[in-house]
Chain A
Amino acid sequence: MTAVAVDTSEPGHGADAHATDAHGHGHPPTNTGLSNDKVAMWAFLGSECLLFGALISTFFLYRSRAPLGTVKPHDVYDIPFTSVSSFILLMSSLTMVLALSAFNRADSRRSMVWLSATALLGATFLGGQIYEFTVFIREGMTLKTNPASSAFYVLTGFHGTHVGIGVLMLLILVILIAKGRLTPARAETIEIAGLYWHFVDVVWVVVFTVVYLLPL
């Protein structure tokens, strides 16, 4: 790492180095050019790939392993219902980017509306998952029924937990903006929460195809 003389009067390197541009991208005075918070979130998301990779692989290995006479996940799937849930989660990513875009324009009110919409869509997805679980349990597929059902519940349950944490995070952001404790000068906070939310969405893109749609 070399120290280089930099004229801080140069745009982007001066006192406004933390300031964000029109798209919410600033250049903090770190060696990476990214704020430490953002680097931490990207590193965390990279490690989350390993967590979900393990869960998806486990499901793949066990998805057809069930004693005869027990209910397998593929016997109870309701594809139209889950497709609607998936669409809802995909659209929550749209509302999330619109929230960030509004916040970057210093339009806090609209940003709160989009953030609330994102939280609502996330909560709807979560409600759908809880409903789906109760239907599956009623049809005889519990966590302990067979290896396939265990792998299914652990994978989708972990994802659902991530969605739940994301919804809480979004609601906290809405409260902070409403109280004036989060201003457009700190738009990166929303961007970082958005990264987490989009990651949760991207994981569901994989889970929906691999778990629900791929034939046995």
Chain B
Amino acid sequence: MATTHAAPAASADEHAEHADHPTEKNYWVIALILGVITAVEVALSYIDLGNAVAPLLLIGMVMKFFIVASYFMHLKFDSKMARRLFISGLSLALFCYLGVFMMFRQFGPRSDRQDIDLIETGVPQR
């Protein structure tokens, strides 16, 4: 029976998006990868690699974040609408708090020491 209604945005491309949905076996492999990345991160925090530690840890964190969001949250296979909603919140948070960081750097206490003095004595030290 043919009727008229607002067409859903879901279309052929959405079916295509669902095509390569992970299997249960894939989920186990993904969990294993996540476990390995976590183990590497923990090992890195014990190894003295100087300034390289922080970027490596952040790379591991971003990888885990996107693996969980893409495969476990099905963001990779879900509709574009879901992706946009989540990414807009994430981007807004990133921009907003990077702005806050820069503001604090520009106008906040000049050093941690000054802030600590303020806590200890109640007056900023020079």
Contact = CB atoms under 8 A, between A and B. Distances in A.
Interface string B39-50: 101101110000
Q: Which of B9, B10, B46 has the most CB of A within 10 A?
A: B10
Contacts, number: 200
B10 to A, nearest CB: 3
Contact of A8 (B2, B78, B93): B2
A205 B92 CA distance: 19
Interface in B83-101: 85-86, 88-90, 92-94, 96-97, 100-101
A214 B45 CA distance: 7
A115 to B, nearest CB: 15
A95 to B, nearest CB: 9
B92 A49 contact: yes
A93 B3 CA distance: 42
Give the size category of A's interface with B. Answer: 35 or more
A6 B27 contact: no
A66 B93 CA distance: 27
Contacts of A47: 89
B14 A33 contact: yes
A45 B54 contact: no
B24 A53 contact: no
Interface in A50-97: 50, 52-54, 56-57, 60-61, 64-68, 79-80, 83, 86-87, 90-91, 93-94, 96-97
Contacts of B24: 98, 101
Given A32-B81, A33-B14, A210-B61, A98 B27 contact: yes
Contacts of A213: 41-42, 44-45, 57
B16 interface: no
A6 B5 contact: yes
Given A28-B8, A90-B34, A209-B60, A43 B93 contact: no
B9 A205 contact: no
A186 interface: no
Q: Which of A97, A98, A199 has the most CB of B within 10 A?
A: A97
A23 B5 CA distance: 26
A28 B82 CA distance: 14
A2 B9 CA distance: 11
B89 A46 contact: yes
A46 B96 CA distance: 13
A184 B15 CA distance: 21
Contacts of A8: 1-3, 5
Interface of B: 1-11, 14-15, 18, 21, 24, 27-28, 30-31, 34-35, 38-39, 41-42, 44-46, 53-54, 57-58, 60-61, 64-65, 68-69, 71-74, 77-79, 81-82, 85-86, 88-90, 92-94, 96-97, 100-101, 104, 108, 112, 115-116, 119-120
8 contacts: A7-B2, A12-B15, A33-B79, A47-B89, A49-B93, A57-B97, A94-B31, A214-B54
Q: Give me the 6 closest cross-chain CB pairs, A-B, nearest first.
A: A46-B89, A33-B10, A53-B93, A27-B10, A209-B61, A94-B31
